Amino acid sequence: MTMKKDDLTIFNLQVLTDIYDDDSSGTIVATLSGFSQAAKLYLKALQQSFLADDLSAVSAGAHSLRSICGLTGVVRLASLSHQLELAAKAKQEVAVAQLMFEISVHWPVLEAQINVVLSTYLVSDA
């Protein structure tokens, strides 16, 4: 999958700047860095819950991940997380497994895009 730096279907920086009403590099770097750290923890917890067959915990974790995605403009992962939350609540095990796979494939693409944005804003501060 080819990733463009400005792929709005993956990450929309405008959402982040609109929510915080601030487009300064300090806000963007702090928010995206914080998101990246938190998302890694949520993803790890989701994986553990999935492997333990705990659909209730998968649903709760997906809800939390979707929430932080929404606050940062992380569009695709928010959508996948929402779908995962609903599938886990409905106890649709096949859909849950497929979505967990999609999320695991999507995360490196998103992380790379976030890193491009972060490096752009870190360089502009230097």
* The token pair that represents 45 in the structure block: 């917890």
> Does the pLDDT value for residue 1 go beyond 80?
no
Q: Quote the pLDDT of residue 123.
A: 79
> Does the pLDDT value for residue 5 go beyond 60?
no
The tens digit of pLDDT for each residue in 31-90 reads 999 999 999 999 999 999 999 999 999 999 999 999 999 999 999 999 999 999 999 999
Neighbours of 95 (CB within 10 A): 15
Q: How far apart are CA 62 and CA 57, in angstroms?
A: 8
Measured in degrees and rounded to the nearest 5, phi and psi for residue 101 equal -65, -50
> Does the pLDDT value for residue 2 go beyond 90?
no
- Domains defined for the chain, CATH in brackets: 13-117 (1.20.120.160)
Q: What pTM was computed for the model?
A: 0.90
Q: Quote the pLDDT of residue 125.
A: 58
The tens digit of pLDDT for each residue in 49-58 reads 999 999 999 9
Q: How far apart are CA 78 and CA 86, in angstroms?
A: 12
Reduce the DSSP state of residue 5 to 3 states and report it: coil
